[in-house]
Amino acid sequence: MDLPKHRPTPTTSLRDASDSSTGSWDALEWTKIEPIARFVSPANLDFLLDDEQVVAEGHGVVLVNTDDAGVLIVTNFRLIFLSEGTRKVIALGTIPLATIEKFNKTAVKVQSNTHQSDKTPTQRLLQVIGKDMRIIVFGFRPRTKQRRAIYDALLKCTKPPVLWDLYAFTSGPSSFKNTSPMVRLLDEYFRLIGKASHRASMDMIESGSFTLSNDLWRISSVNSSYTMCQSYPFALVVPKSISDDEVLQACKFRARCRLPVISWCHPVTGAVLARSSQPLVGLMMNMRSNMDEKLVAALCSNRDGSRRKLYIADARPRKNALANGAMGGGSESSSNYFQSEIIFFGIDNIHAMRESFVRLREFMDTHGRTSSDGMSSFLRHGGSIWGGGNLSSMSASVSTLGDSGWLLHVQNVLAGAAWIAARVAMEKASVLVHCSDGWDRTSQLVSLANLLLDPYYRTFRGFQALVEKDWLAFGHPFSDRVGTPSISGSGNMSFELPRQQSSTSIIPSSPMRQPSGTFVSQPPVSSHAHNSNNYSPIFLQWADCVSQLLRMYPFAFEFSAAFLVDFLDCMLSSRFGNFFFNSEKERLQCNVFESCGCLWAYLADRRTSEGSSTHAHCNPFYDPLKYSGPLLPPAAALAPTIWPQFHLRWACPEEAQGGELEAQCRKIILKNSEMQKAKEVAERKAREYTIAMESLNAELRREKLLNISSMNTAKRITKENTDIKRAIRSIGCKIHISSSGDCIVDIENNPVEARPNLYCSSRQGSRQGSRQGSRQGSSSALINDKKDLSVSVTEDDDDDDDDGNNVIGRICESLCPFRTGDGGCRWPNGGCAQLGSQFVGLKANFDAFDQLSIDDSYFKPK
């Protein structure tokens, strides 16, 4: 829930007295408070949850704690206080109905200095005491009957006659559907015995095929119908050497048949952490059970057949254990259990915890900023406590916190759990933990020891598995201890919740601390549907212990203190059905899993929708590698302090901001995450640019190589053309080059008679290109080297073939590098015109010519 905003301490307010006032709220000028609109428009009810309905409204109501005036609304789920000016929900004055522990009406007759006391109006107050450390007081205008309407609505909605009228059932599972916790329990059992590869299902449960085992332990279905023990789960982990028949015999020796079963086993050493209830040894402490002793001895088994040491940790003081012997209970004798040692932790019972919690809540309300009597702690006792020089008063106020005993109880529970974890982790011993019934102090110690031993339980999923295993499945009576809905009666299930009122007295709370008028109060009405003598904040105390461990080891937990607070608020509100009733059997009977929403799904949805990594439930300092093993705090470190996020959030909202450092750290993490994403985007773009540049550079290098190759080719062609021209000129030819690149070669064969013309063209082209001469006495000669250079020479002559052969002969003698001195040919396969050509003109075998290298020595420059 949101924390209430702190209002500065008023110098003059609605509590100002008409004359000299002592500063208390007894001089409220109610007649000056004008009521606002007579009804709240449905259009302004956007703060209501799904299926939440308004039952009653009160207007012109004053929240005495903070001097806020507004509208008080009772719905089928909450008591809501709206501010008069802003119409916003005031968190301090808004509380779920199931979180209300008690409420009562109080009438105050204001004493006046005048003699007209009969005309002084009576102040009508409604005090609401919450299970979450707050005490709220509402003031109503006289003669309006609004307080009666609100009070009756609270009576009706806090204890409906029919179970299905509760908000958790009327709202249904909605979007927070609940999977079966029985399936999740089996999955946790599979993990503990090393069978995590198996996945549980309802079909497996219905068929009974979940009885897996390892070398030492097995999952038993002996309690699948809850006939052996109604407060135990349907599946139990027991030693493999113990049969189901022996389990049934051993359970008779333990209170409520809660026999020793395994809660956690070490995956390497095989040491176990077991739980049970007290043995029924009787008044003389001489009763024994062979089956119970055999079962306990099996907890000490080793894989090599040897026996490990066994510690039996009795959570009670020794005198309490002995006193239970008068009722048939008691404690074990070490002489009856082989290699065992009995340890008493001295943790007080549920009644001592309840009284301690009430005193702590009273201290917070008395000395907080927003006290329920409307007076600031700075002004109490004339302002002499804090800075007025009255050190004795200051010491008295501090000693009140110590007198509550709450922190001492928390320290005892932490010390016991740390001792158990050290025995299992360091000595490799097995530990059996029990108290009287095995569902209060035993659940505290075993679950805390599991949290210290196994880092999996320090994650979100592991914490859920731990609560569902050691608290819900093993039958912590949440209906009796917290006041969640219960099934009244025994044996037959009844869906009627009794409308009984509790006459249990409470410690006088503020408005009664400094009375300046006459008080007429009615007995407080408890919101519990059971005997209030069974109420005790056992689970809340365990959550306080977890917060102390989180403070000591901030890097070891995935979740934060804010998660613990929201988790407790959801549990106390009864908005979801996870913590209804006293046992797994009762929840199964009422089909809670399908009829109500799931608390775990709701919390997970909040983390997902609001950003899982930076959500307030996530611990920004979590480092799973730093604390991958057990946590073993020394005794000197077990010095608990007030849990500010929970204990101080209503009385001292500014001082309760213990999560501000975490919030700032989350902002830094979020900013760092955004910068990291921006960095990744920039790096990705830089890589793309680098690849593009490399591609361009490679293309540029290829173009450069092509350019160099082309230039070399051009130079070579130029050189060869020059050589060819020189060779042609050496045989008396004249070359005329046109603008198109063609050239005319004039050859003087017979200067007197004729001047044959040769047409010569030089081009870069196909190696097998040729020019075919005319059949009317024209002859062709083609010179083609391996460099794709084609030279065509054409002779236009009207003389006979003999003259043409003489000309060709002169050309061959001058140009052909294969001509021998005696007129022979070094290349007879060339098929040139001089050696048997079938055509008039020049013809060469280009394929053979291509396979040879022209003698470059012929083309040497002059």
Residue 496: pLDDT band (50, 70, 90) is very low
Give the residue ranges of DSSP H helices in 597-655.
599-609, 644-647
Among all chains, which residue has been given the structure tokens 């050309």? 811
Higher-pLDDT residue of 249, 367: 249
Angle between helices 441-453 and 460-467 (to 10 degrees): 150
Per the residue annotation, which of 435, 596, 652, 743 is the catalytic one?
435
Around Cβ 629, how many Cβ atoms within 10 Å?
11
% the chain with pLDDT above 70: 69
- 3-state SS, residue 130: strand
Quote the pTM value: 0.74
Q: pLDDT at residue 25 above 90?
A: no
**C-alpha closest to that of 186 among 396, 438, 473:** 473
pLDDT digits (tens, 9 = 90+) for 347-381: 999 999 999 999 999 999 888 887 887 776 665 55
Residue 697: pLDDT band (50, 70, 90) is very high
- 3-state SS, residue 445: helix
**Rounded Cα gap, residues 256 and 232, in angstroms:** 10
SS (H, E, C) 506-547: CCCCCCCCCCCEEEEECCCEECCCCCHHHCCCHHHHHHHHHH
Catalytic residue flag (residue 435): yes
- Over residues 165-189, the mean pLDDT reads 90
pLDDT of residue 353: 96
> What is the C-alpha R_g of the chain?
50
pLDDT digits (tens, 9 = 90+) for 60-115: 999 998 888 999 999 999 999 999 888 899 999 999 999 999 999 988 766 555 55
Q: Is 123 exposed, middle or buried (0-12, 13-18, 19+ CB in 10 A)?
A: buried
pLDDT digits (tens, 9 = 90+) for 472-482: 999 999 999 99
pLDDT of residue 91: 94
- Over residues 104-127, the mean pLDDT reads 71
| Whether 144 contacts 53, CB under 8 Å | no
